[in-house]
Structure 1
Amino acid sequence: MSTEKCFANGSATPGPVPKGHIRLYSMRFCPFAQRTRLVLNAKGITYDTVNIHLKDKPDWFLEKNPLGLVPTLETPAGEVIYESPITCEYLDEVYPEKKLLPSSPFAKAQQKMMLEHFSKVTPYFYKIPMGRRNGEDVSGLEAELKEKLAKLNEDLANKKTKFFGGDSITMIDYMMWPWFERLETFELQHCLGSTPELKKWTARMLEDPAVKATMYSTDTYKAFYKSYVDGKPDYDYGL
């Protein structure tokens, strides 16, 4: 179902969630929803996807999630969970095979703290391209982003591990990945600067099966974001 066209206002309510499945309400190009898709794929969870037209949301979706945000999960029992970190932690608890969060409370807290730090990085991926389009000087913002990425590089170098939680991929890697996947789309590749460990991490992430299963080409992302900036987002681009 993950390649189906999005549901807009006036569309029929999808049928009940099949037993043994979980449903993801998503949007194909949303980095926050991609976090949840990465976790679903990494853990081998059986799920179906209902893509939502975020500019013209169905009333039935707003009844499930009054905030109208993706990702949103729904279980066969009608339980609804939303917000990307919450959906991902929920999946890790309910489907204990291949745990992505550490079992140690301190290590788990460390990942959550790192995610909190990373939440201060993501706005740059929107502010800088928007500033450029408006003819603003974004050199200061770019310098700040370079500084934040250099700090991530330093963290990884100090850990001496392949990934941010050790030598295998854990939750924090998937939480950060969608924005690195879009660096080229937002023309921010140069902000990686001299971050050798971060560049190695990026190359390793690109080899991960869950990453491969959820990513789109840069050309596809660029086409979607152009339609978004033009005020007519083509959520079904490429279908």
Structure 2
Amino acid sequence: MPDTLTLISHALCPYVQRAAIVLHEKNVPFDRVTIDLADKPDWFRAASPLGKVPLLKLGGDRYLFESAPIVEFLDETEGSRLHPEDPAERARHRAYIEFASQILNGIGALYNARDDTGFYAAGEALRAKFRHLEGELDPDGPFFAGRAFSLVDAAFAPVFRYFDVFETFLTLEMFDDLDRVLAWRGKLAARTSVQEAVTADYPALLTAFLQNRNSWISQLLDLRSRERSLLVAH
């Protein structure tokens, strides 16, 4: 293992956040290199066969790609395990990490919806997934499986971070009556590893990204901006 790992990142990528959270949870020192995915450097193209982040540079020309194997590698090689020891429970956790990825796809459908019909349909599909989670969370919390922070928690923290930004200009009612999910979301947001997984300008960067989607959510953002401008003018 090299003295210092390098996490190749994009400022808004939720999958990069998973790896950063795990590195922080395990107190592993690492460097972070942020690239522009619209202007990928040649070395990145050579190292990432899928052209995506995250990449984890191990040293020399050795890179790992894709967040799932990266966090599994970190869990196997660094510090105390975040995956459960029981094989069946470990498989269940892996399934819910994939469930988090499917929710991220649903969030993409939400912010890319071209009209209100598509937007509200995407919102309902997301709410159904969160209703399912309400029944799967450990009732005593504070995390997915109880007292111990796990890789599932690392996967869901970036999911909830989207809603921290959405709720600055939208009333989604996504988590109404989902008390366990809301409590879990709050505990994750307060976690140092989660807070440090993004830069301070993440909300502004995400808002700018949403404004440029030419989607229904872009229109809602523009409307809120105009309303705020009118309030300031008066």
TM-score clears 0.5:
yes
Partner of 2:136: 155
Partner Cα separation in structure 1 for residue 180 and residue 105 of structure 2: 23
- Paired letter, 1:177: A
Helix, strand or coil: the match of 1:24?
Answer: strand
Alignment map for 1:39-50 (pairs within 5 Å): 39-50=22-33
CA contact (8 A) 1:153 1:198 kept: yes
Moved more, 121-130 or 66-75: 121-130
TM-score (norm 2): 0.81
Pairs within 5 Å for 1:45-84: 45-84=28-67
Cα distance 1:32–1:203, how it changes in 2: closer, same or farther (>3 A)?
same
Alpha-carbon distance change, 93 to 188 in structure 1, aligned in 2, over 3 angstroms: farther
Q: What do the CA deviations read for 1:132-189 (whole angstroms, capped 9, x no partner)? A: xx224132222221111111011115x5432112212111110111011111324475
Give aligned pairs, total. Answer: 209
Matched, 1:144 2:125: yes
* Alignment gaps of 5+ in structure 2: 215-234
Give the Cα–Cα distance (whole angstroms) in 2 for the partners of residues 98 and 84 of structure 1.
19
State the Cα deviation string for residues 105-145 of structure 1 (Å, max 9, x = none).
222111011122333222221111221xx224132222221
Residue 56 of structure 1: how far off its partner (Å): 0.8
Q: Would you say the 8 A contact 1:182–1:218 is kept in 2?
A: no
The one-letter code sitting in structure 2 at the alignment partner of 1:225 is F
Match of 2:221 in 1: none
Question: What's the Cα RMSD here?
Answer: 2.1
Q: What is the rounded CA distance, in whole Å, between the counterparts of 1:142 and 1:222 in structure 2?
A: 18
Moved more, 77-86 or 115-124: 115-124
Which residue in 1 is equivalent to 2:164?
184
SS at match of 1:191: coil
The one-letter code sitting in structure 2 at the alignment partner of 1:154 is: G
After TM superposition, which residue ranges in structure 1, 4 or more long, deviate above 3 angstroms? 186-189, 215-219, 221-224
Alignment of 1:195-214 (within 5 A): 195-214=178-197
Give 3-state SS (helix, strand or coil) of 2:141's partner: coil
2:73 pairs with 90, 99, 116, which one?
A: 90
Moved more, 58-67 or 215-224: 215-224
Distance in 2 separating the partners of 1:198 and 1:83: 27
What is the distance in 1 between the residues matched to 2:212 and 2:15?
16
Letter in 1 for 2:52: L
SS at match of 1:182: helix
Would you say the 8 A contact 2:111–2:210 is kept in 1?
Answer: no
CA distance in 1, matches of 2:202, 2:63: 32
**Which sections of structure 1, spanning at least 5 residues, go unmatched?**
1-17, 231-239
* Distance change >3 Å, CA 114–CA 222, structure 1 → 2: closer
Structure 2 partner of 1:225:
209
Determine if the alignment matches structure 1 residue 125 to structure 2 residue 110: no
Report the structure, 1 or 2, having the larger helix content. 2
Q: Deviations over 1:15-52 (max 9, x none)?
A: xxx94111111112111111111111111111111111
Give the Cα–Cα distance (whole angstroms) in 1 for the partners of residues 61 and 202 of structure 2: 36
